[in-house]
Structure 1
Amino acid sequence: MTDPVYRLPPRRTGTALYGLTLAQLALAGTGLAGLAAATTLLPGRAGLLAGTATLATAVLLATVRVAGQPLHHLLPLLIRHALTRDRHRPTTAAGAARPAGSPRWLRGLDLLDAPTGQLPTTDGNPPMLIHHRRTGALTVVLDVRGGPFTLLDPADQHRHLAAWARLLAQTARDRSTLTFGWTLRTHHAPPPPLTPTSATRPHRAGSTRGAAGDAGQTPLASYRHLLADTLLQHHDLRLWITVNSHHARGRRPELAALDAAHALITRATTAGLTVHGALSTAQLSAEITAHTDPHRPSHPADGGPARTPNAPTRLPAGLAARAGLPGARDTPVPPAPEPPTFPTSSTSPASADAPSAEIEARWDAARVGATWHRVFHIAAWPTSPLHPGWLDPLLHETPTARTLTVAYTPIPPPTSRRRLNHDTAALDLALQIRHRHGVRIPTHLTDARDDIDQRDAELSAGHPELAYTALLDLASPDRQALDTATADLVDLAARAGITDLHPLHGRHQHALPAALPLGLTPRRPHPAT
């Protein structure tokens, strides 16, 4: 018996006319219409020049790409960023109190305390529901831990993937599910301070420091570099589900959302995940702070010395203790990041006077407090056959703190069938056009027929389709570190087969909330199986 082969379908872009998008065809039609109108309304050479300029401008807008982005997409972003950048800059002077109210990027959300006992929580507080004001939807966030997937045998990895596929299918069949997904935040453990050694002790007065003393610094620097390379990583996994409150069927929407979360817990447990419970309001508040401003220094109320939220409270006892091996000495316990003064019930989740509450927007980054963010969109996934651990480089090797969010949106079966019929007709038309004009047929069109047949068989067997999208957020203390981490991230993504990783320039302030475990997914996810 051969091992299963995993494939991710290509992104649905372009039309049958040589892969041109609707926007490109509309621009070309506008240019031709402008040429015809100019030559008709303006006499002589002036009309011809005006019409030619209109057509050339439309063609350039439709075909030219700048930094991987089509020009007709980039220009509206530039104009929008120039008009709205002042709205996303902090207006409160340093040291002044922030006016009461919610940050603009979280004003559409309310945190609700669910009845105690409906779902377990790790801190004993009532479970939390996120209420989306615009749609009325409710989101529940779960604290989840994965297993040692990388260490499993290939057969066990395939079984775990099959169990995860069942979780996706069962959740997608629930009519009340609007969207669901997972958010993985990875950050390094705090570096341990070293005890003084002979290489770092001060020399006594009158002693002569020779070349041997200077050479003692080289082993110490090498040891520090070794410790930095072996720092442990913390992976915080959150599984969340957003439920349509209008499908409560006469029940309270809160209870319907909790029932959907309970069903998701059962499916996740069956799939081999460990679910510790739902997040409470206080936990989500700390979660938002840890995601948006992990480099924020604390502000002691009693005038004590400021410290960073990741500073350890005790010296580490070594790699064994940091790895949690039995019999090792105590490990350092980093204090939890101090959350802003978030409300506890039925109010906006960010009405505090925290200095990191607002997002400062730049074209190529966004800053929250002392942390710089850059959000990427995985525009295309690998189309070649994949093995179970194909995403390991992107998951386990992180240049800096990063958050990976993957959101799934169930597609109704009638919509899936219409899309399948549309894709079949578009493929036949594209092949006919290329055969008629003697144009080479690209590989993705050659394999598209098999993909369509497989989709047809899966839909006929009752399997649902899911639209999905993925956002990846990098967080660094300064711009230089962010640029370095960006270059490393591009290399790691290429090792995983992801070569179409787009930074969302001009939209980082809007994409950052969508990368948090809040259920704020983009409106147009990637339609695929």
Structure 2
Amino acid sequence: MSNKTNDRAPSTDLVPVKFSRLARRGVLLGLSAAQLVTLGIAAVTLVGAFYAGGGVLIAYSAPVWLLAIALTWLPVVGRPAVEWVPIVGWWIWRATGGQLLYRRRVVAPRPAGTLALPGDQARLREYTDPETGAGMIHDPAAATLTAIIEVTHPAFVLLDPGEQNRRVSAWGRVLATVCRSGRIATLQVLERTLPDSGTGLAEWWHSHGTDDGSWTATTYAELIDRAGPAGERHTTTVSLALDMKAAGRQIRTAGGGIRGAAAVLRQEMATLTTALRSADLTPSGWLPPGDVAVILRSAYDPAIAATLHRHGDLGRDLATAGPVAVTETWGRLRTDSAHHAVLWISEWPRSLVYPGFLAPVLLSTGIQRSFSLLCTPMRSDQAARDIRKKKVEYISDAAQRAKIGQIEDAAQTAEYTDVLQQEADLTAGHGVLRYTGLIAVSAPTVLELDSAVAAIAQAAIQASCETRPLVGQQARAFTAAALPLCRRI
């Protein structure tokens, strides 16, 4: 999924936007590479049996070519059956190897500097920047270094249309800045809902209230004590991941190693902070390791989130911030105090929508969820090559369909139009981003989780989006959707 950044001059009118369609074109005649492989196996088996012995061998080989044909064209939950083969195979491999269960080893602690996270997140390393105090997460396998900043902002839906359009244009300039850098691997925007500890209301009452012992003051204080912990709070973080391979020369110039990478990342952090402020967003500073630990602990153990928020000195050690136990099933994830399910936004709005189209999802009440938007910037030369490749593939595919008399449908025409629009936007100087939207829904019980997932799916429909559960990969999907670590899936 891709969309251009918009850095044109703001207007007083609210301008609708349109996302590119999810490309469904295959390698040849709408068939993917996996479908072509299975279809080729069926053809070779059938032709070989025909020339080798005729009818008897065709009957004997029928299970092979019939299975291959079924895998090619038989749909399973909206996808060809062959596309489920690697997912199911990897799931069986992990299940037989005991990789679906994680239990923390309390007696044997993890090495210093590592994060106590399950799965492939166990390779992550922490590094504290000596100049900014920011907690940076290093992924040695992906060669990335990530920093996280918390951002506050006014309610977008309450602004007038002119102000909304101005803020959208300003956010487009932020994304354009990220695209032009050439050293950013991923930009992640994570919006979470957490149980409110009531600290904000209590502080407001302590500062503005009049506790004179009267019946009114006593009743109001009791209402605050009861309503505060029962509410929910929203937090937004922006994570920036440095591509250490793309920035290799600058890292060596800065001294090399993790310190050189941190110095290069600090430059990108300063640029992003300036861009955020120009977009009327209020960054609260780059998070130190303690705040990162609280976010990780709250994601795996939501029941403790209010306590951690109320007592600022608890749970601030990255070495113990991970879960105690994780159990992954085909469609869910069970952690310390909650069940989780991750949904993928498989289709963004196909028609023109206004910038606040995600309001039904983001403003849903009574549901604990994390909305993660992973933005992968593409360099101008890389985006130009990708667009040229897509154009050649579309034109070649159209020529093949014309030869066999297959009719061009509207979906294929719309996808080609999107490619041409991306080329025009790139020529005009805009940046190109690939968007991935994930929603992690959490609940104390399975029944509550199913109800919350259904409500979020319905809210996504109201937002003109389509969601699909990421079955068979819930553990990896949860780390990408609920943790601000710029993880990909």
TM-score of the pair, normalised by structure 2: 0.81
Residue 130 (structure 2) pairs with residue 115 (structure 1): yes
- Which of these residues, 437, 462, 475, is aligned with residue 509 of structure 1? 475
Q: CA deviation at 1:188?
A: 4.5
CA contact (8 A) 2:327 2:335 kept: yes
Q: CA deviation at 1:399?
A: 4.6
Q: CA deviation at 1:432?
A: 4.4
- The verdict on how the C-alpha distance between 1:490 and 1:61 changes in structure 2, with shifts beyond 3 A counting, is same
CA contact (8 A) 2:194 2:368 kept: yes
CA contact (8 A) 2:300 2:337 kept: no
CA contact (8 A) 2:34 2:83 kept: no
CA contact (8 A) 2:239 2:486 kept: no
CA contact (8 A) 2:14 2:354 kept: no
RMSD over aligned CA atoms reads 2.9
Report the residue type matching 2:232 in the other structure.
Q
Report the residue type matching 1:160 in the other structure.
R
Residue 38 (structure 2) pairs with residue 27 (structure 1): yes
Provide the residue aligned with 2:24 in structure 1: 13
Q: CA deviation at 1:438?
A: 5.6
Provide the residue aligned with 2:56 in structure 1: 46
Provide the residue aligned with 1:487 in structure 2: 454
- The verdict on how the C-alpha distance between 1:20 and 1:277 changes in structure 2, with shifts beyond 3 A counting, is same
Q: In 1, distance between residues paired with 2:364 and 2:375?
A: 24
Q: Which structure: greater helix fraction?
A: 2
Alignment of structure 1 residues 304-453 onto 2, 5 Å: 309-310=305-306, 334-335=310-311, 338-339=314-315, 341-343=317-319, 350=320, 356-433=323-400, 439-453=406-420
Residue 426 (structure 2) pairs with residue 459 (structure 1): yes
Report the residue type matching 1:265 in the other structure.
T
Q: In 2, distance between residues paired with 1:406 and 1:3?
A: 23
Counterpart secondary structure, 2:354: coil
Q: CA deviation at 1:68?
A: 3.2
CA contact (8 A) 1:5 1:387 kept: yes
Provide the residue aligned with 2:244 in structure 1: 245
Q: In 2, distance between residues paired with 1:234 and 1:382?
A: 27
Alignment of structure 1 residues 38-437 onto 2, 5 Å: 38-41=49-52, 43-85=53-95, 86-90=98-102, 97-101=106-110, 102-105=116-119, 106-116=121-131, 118=132, 126-189=133-196, 232-246=231-245, 247=247, 248-249=250-251, 250-251=253-254, 252-296=260-304, 309-310=305-306, 334-335=310-311, 338-339=314-315, 341-343=317-319, 350=320, 356-433=323-400
Q: CA deviation at 1:337?
A: 9.5
Please tell me whether Structure 1 or Structure 2 has the larger radius of gyration of its CA atoms: 1
Q: In 2, distance between residues paired with 1:61 and 1:4?
A: 44
Q: CA deviation at 1:272?
A: 1.2
Q: In 2, distance between residues paired with 1:179 and 1:157?
A: 25
Q: CA deviation at 1:448?
A: 4.0
Unaligned runs of 5+ in 2: 1-10, 111-115, 200-222, 255-259
Residue 485 (structure 2) pairs with residue 519 (structure 1): yes
Counterpart secondary structure, 2:99: helix
Q: CA deviation at 1:311?
A: 6.5
Per-residue CA deviations over 1:158-211 (Å, capped at 9, x if unaligned) read 11111111110111110211111211111353699xxxxxxxxxxxxxxxxxxx
- The verdict on how the C-alpha distance between 1:511 and 1:148 changes in structure 2, with shifts beyond 3 A counting, is same
Counterpart secondary structure, 1:310: helix
Q: In 1, distance between residues paired with 2:438 and 2:414?
A: 28
Counterpart secondary structure, 1:519: coil
- The verdict on how the C-alpha distance between 1:504 and 1:451 changes in structure 2, with shifts beyond 3 A counting, is closer
Q: CA deviation at 1:285?
A: 0.5
Provide the residue aligned with 1:213 in structure 2: none
Q: CA deviation at 1:104?
A: 3.4
Per-residue CA deviations over 1:3-27 (Å, capped at 9, x if unaligned) read 5331100112323744222221222
CA contact (8 A) 1:375 1:504 kept: yes
Unaligned runs of 5+ in 1: 119-125, 193-223, 297-308, 313-332, 344-349, 524-529
Q: CA deviation at 1:416?
A: 1.7
Q: CA deviation at 1:75?
A: 3.3
CA contact (8 A) 2:25 2:412 kept: no
- The verdict on how the C-alpha distance between 1:340 and 1:262 changes in structure 2, with shifts beyond 3 A counting, is closer
Q: In 2, distance between residues paired with 1:336 and 1:46?
A: 76
Q: In 2, distance between residues paired with 1:59 and 1:191?
A: 60
Q: CA deviation at 1:335?
A: 4.3
Query: After the TM superposition, which of the residue ranges 45-54 and 146-155 deviates more from structure 2?
Result: 45-54
Q: CA deviation at 1:422?
A: 2.6
- The verdict on how the C-alpha distance between 1:3 and 1:284 changes in structure 2, with shifts beyond 3 A counting, is closer
Provide the residue aligned with 1:210 in structure 2: none
Counterpart secondary structure, 2:442: strand
TM-score of the pair, normalised by structure 1: 0.75
Per-residue CA deviations over 1:392-415 (Å, capped at 9, x if unaligned) read 001101452111111111212222
Q: In 2, distance between residues paired with 1:512 and 1:481?
A: 18
Identity, % of aligned positions: 22
- The verdict on how the C-alpha distance between 1:448 and 1:507 changes in structure 2, with shifts beyond 3 A counting, is closer
CA contact (8 A) 1:112 1:130 kept: yes
Report the residue type matching 1:243 in the other structure.
L
- Which of these residues, 439, 443, 451, is aligned with residue 476 of structure 1? 443
- The verdict on how the C-alpha distance between 1:156 and 1:91 changes in structure 2, with shifts beyond 3 A counting, is closer
- The verdict on how the C-alpha distance between 1:71 and 1:15 changes in structure 2, with shifts beyond 3 A counting, is closer
